[in-house]
Amino acid sequence: MARHLDWEAARGRGLHSDSLHDLAGLAFEVAEDAPLQRVLSHVARNVTDLPGVLYGGVYLLGDDATTLQLEGWHGLTAEYLKVMREMPLDLASGTAATGPPNVRAVLTATTILVPDVFAETELGPWLPLFRPQGFRGIAAVPMTAPDGAVIGSVTAYLAKGAAPGPADLPVLEELGRLATAVTLLVRRREADRAAVEGLRADLDRAAARMAEQRRLGAFERAALRLSADGAGLAPVVRTLTDGLGVALTVLGPTGEVLAGDPRGDGRSVSASMHVNDDQTMTLQAAVPPQTPPDEPVPWSLDGAALIVELELRRLDRDADIESRLTKDLVADLLSPAAMRHRDAVFGRAVALGHRPQHAHDVVMVALPEVESGGDPTAGVARAHRRVVALTGTVRPRPVVGSVGSHVVVLNPVPTDDRPPGAEGTTRALAARLAAAIAGARVLIGPRARTLADAPHAFDVASRAVQLLTRRSAGVIDMTDLGVPGLLLQSAQPEALRELAERTLAPLVRNDAERGGRLLATLRAWLAAGMSTPETARTMFVHVNTVNYRLRRIGELTGLQPSRPADLIQLQLALTVAEISGSIPPGALRN
Alpha-carbon distances of 125 from 99, 117, 121, rounded to whole Å: 10, 11, 9
* Same domain membership, residue 441 and residue 380: yes
Total number of domains in the chain: 4
**Residue 126 host element (H or E):** none
Q: Is the confidence at residue 12, as pLDDT, over 70?
A: no
Q: Is residue 204 part of a domain?
A: no
**Domain CATH for 352:** 3.30.70
pLDDT of res. 2: 37
| Percentage with pLDDT > 70 across the chain | 85
167 and 37, same domain (yes or no): yes
* Count of Cβ atoms closer than 10 Å to residue 14 Cβ: 6
Do residues 176 and 304 both lie within one domain?
no
Q: Indicate whether 177 and 28 sit together in one domain.
A: yes
Say which CATH number the domain at 84 has: 3.30.450.40
Q: Is residue 49 part of a domain?
A: yes
Specify whether 152 is located in the same domain as 61: yes
CA distances from 459 to 159, 336, 365, 447, 500 (A): 116, 11, 14, 12, 21
Q: What CATH code is carried by the domain that includes residue 504? A: 1.10.10.2840
Do both 178 and 39 map to the same domain? yes
Decide if 363 is inside a domain: yes
Is the CB of residue 519 less than 8 Å from the CB of residue 585? no
Specify the DSSP element, H or E, that contains 488. none
138: exposed, middle or buried (Cβ count in 10 Å: 0-12, 13-18, 19+): buried
Residue 584 domain-assigned (yes or no): yes
Q: Is the same domain home to 412 and 491?
A: no
Whether 298 is in a domain gets the answer: yes
142, 271: one domain: no
> How far apart are alpha carbons 219 and 187 in whole angstroms?
47
43: exposed, middle or buried (C-beta count within 10 Å: 0-12, 13-18, 19+)?
buried
The pLDDT assigned to 297 comes to: 53
Q: What is the CA radius of gyration of the chain?
A: 46
Q: Coil, strand or helix: which one is 218?
A: helix
Tell whether 223 is covered by a domain.
Answer: no
Do 155 and 260 fall into the same domain? no
Are 353 and 375 within 8 A, CB to CB?
A: no
pLDDT digits (tens, 9 = 90+) for 117-131: 998 888 888 888 888
Average pLDDT value for residue range 479-499: 63
Report the pLDDT value the prediction gives residue 21, as an integer from 0 to 100.
52
Q: Do 488 and 457 share a domain, yes or no?
A: no
Q: How far apart are CA 347 and CA 287, in angstroms?
A: 50
Assign 468 a pLDDT band (cuts: 50, 70, 90).
confident
Distances (CA, A) of 521 to 515, 530, 535: 13, 11, 8
Give the amino acid at 206. Answer: A
What are the tens digits of pLDDT across the range 374-416?
A: 566 778 888 888 888 778 777 777 888 888 888 999 888 877 7
Q: Is the pLDDT of residue 15 over 60?
A: no
pLDDT of residue 44: 93
For the cut 80, the answer to whether the pLDDT of residue 530 exceeds it is: yes
Taking 3-state DSSP, the helix, strand and coil percentages for the chain, each rounded to the nearest 5, stand at: 50, 15, 30
User: How many angstroms separate the CA atoms of 322 and 362, rounded?
Assistant: 19
DSSP β-bridge partners for residue 61: 68
Domain end call among 463, 480, 497: 480
Domain C-terminal end among 281, 312, 343:
312
State the average pLDDT over residues 537-550: 92
- 413 Cβ contact list (under 8 Å, min separation 6): 358, 359, 360, 361, 426, 447
492 and 451 belong to one structural domain: no
Domain residues for 252? Answer: 230-312
pLDDT in the model for residue 590 = 61
Closest by Cα among 580, 397, 583, 589 to 497: 580
Among 7-16, 99-108, 242-251, 255-264, the range scoring the smallest mean pLDDT is 7-16
Q: Are strands 475-477 and 441-448 parallel, antiparallel or unpaired?
A: parallel
The phi and psi torsions of 74 (rounded to 5 degrees) equal -155, 125
Q: Look at residue 22 in the predicted model and tell me its pLDDT.
A: 62
What pLDDT does residue 576 have? 80
Closest CA to 443 of 403, 415, 501: 403
497 residue type, one letter: R
Last residue of a domain, one of 277, 312, 347: 312
* Whether residue 432 is found in the same domain as residue 445: yes
Q: What is the mean pLDDT of the chain?
A: 81
Beta bridge partners of 287: 267
Q: Give all strands (DSSP E) within 219-278, no chain letters.
A: 247-251, 257-260, 267-276
Question: Can you name the residues that pair with 580 across neighbouring β-strands?
Answer: none
Burial class (CB in 10 A: 0-12, 13-18, 19+), 17: exposed
Question: Does 209 map to a domain?
Answer: no
Give the CA distances from residue 195 to residues 62, 186, 189, 200, in Å, rounded to whole numbers and listed in that order: 21, 14, 10, 8
Dist CA 551 CA 261 (whole Å): 52
Describe the strand order of the beta sheet including 406-412 as a list of residue ranges.
399-403, 406-412, 360-366, 441-448, 475-477
Assigned domain for 220 exists: no
Q: Which of 18-27, 162-171, 219-228, 349-358 has the lowest mean pLDDT?
A: 18-27
Confidence of residue 585 (pLDDT cuts 50, 70, 90): low
pLDDT digits (tens, 9 = 90+) for 315-350: 777 766 766 666 678 888 888 777 778 888 888 788
What band does 438 get if pLDDT is binned at 50, 70 and 90?
Answer: confident
- pLDDT interval class at 217 (50, 70, 90): confident
